[in-house]
Copies of this chain bind each other. A is one copy, B any other.
Amino acid sequence: MRELPVQLATKLYGAAELIADQGLDNTKIDDIAEASGVPKATLYYYFTGKEEILAFLLKDLLMAIAGDVAVAVSGEGPASERLAGVVRAQLGVMLRNPAPCRALVGDLGRATRLPELAAALSAAFYEPVEKLLREGAEDGSLRPAEDPMSEAVMIFGTVTVAGLMEAIMGAHREMETIANGVARLLLDGLSPRTTDATGAS
């Protein structure tokens, strides 16, 4: 895949919506060409096919998430708070880019079969969060995880599905509202808090 001119990349975002709505198969290359204003021949000059176009769009999304997550992870404060920041970061990117998100779910299969993307996802999310969990165990703000990797995966699942649900329905709720709900579930769980000093009623 050749180095992509910025202008072309920009135009392509217009196609994300289309792909998100219809799914990749129902979207003809000619449709993508028309929607983005990039002629078919040019698309084939840069990409080997549809899939690679989708992959480009998704990698872009993952990079955005990776960036914001990285900032949240390496911030100040206890790990638990930074984790809440991670949640906000991911949800923020997702709600700002609903079309690629929908495309991502829609064609997750292809995405996971694209090894480059799996790697990007891991770098964007699992690894930073896994690290964060370990730090939380050290600074005492999070319980020690038996298996930080799979906890990171679960956290990703929780956040992602919450975000997707919102991206698929047309975001009624504020990002902060959703993020609070997610963070509360992840940090405190569903059990009633036992924080009140003496036994309650």
Contacts and interface: CB of A to CB of B under 8 A. Distances in A.
A186 B154 CA distance: 10
A154 B150 contact: no
A157 B105 CA distance: 12
Interface string A144-156: 0111001101101
Contact of A106 (B108, B133, B159, B165): B108
Given A23-B109, A161-B161, A185-B151, A140 B192 contact: yes
Contacts of A162: 150, 153-154, 157
Contacts of A142: 190-192
Interface string A128-141: 00000100100011
B195 A136 contact: no
B154 A161 contact: yes
| Total identical chains | 2
Given A23-B113, A112-B105, A160-B161, A195 B192 contact: no
A140 to B, nearest CB: 7
A194 interface: yes
A66 interface: no
Interface string A94-135: 000000000101111110110000000000000000000100
Interface residues of A, number: 50
B188 A189 contact: yes
Contacts of A189: 185-189, 191
Contact of A191 (B110, B156, B187): B187
Contact of A143 (B105, B133, B153, B191): B191
A29 interface: no
Contacts of A178: 150
11 contacts: A80-B190, A103-B109, A105-B109, A105-B112, A106-B113, A109-B109, A153-B162, A153-B165, A157-B157, A157-B159, A157-B161
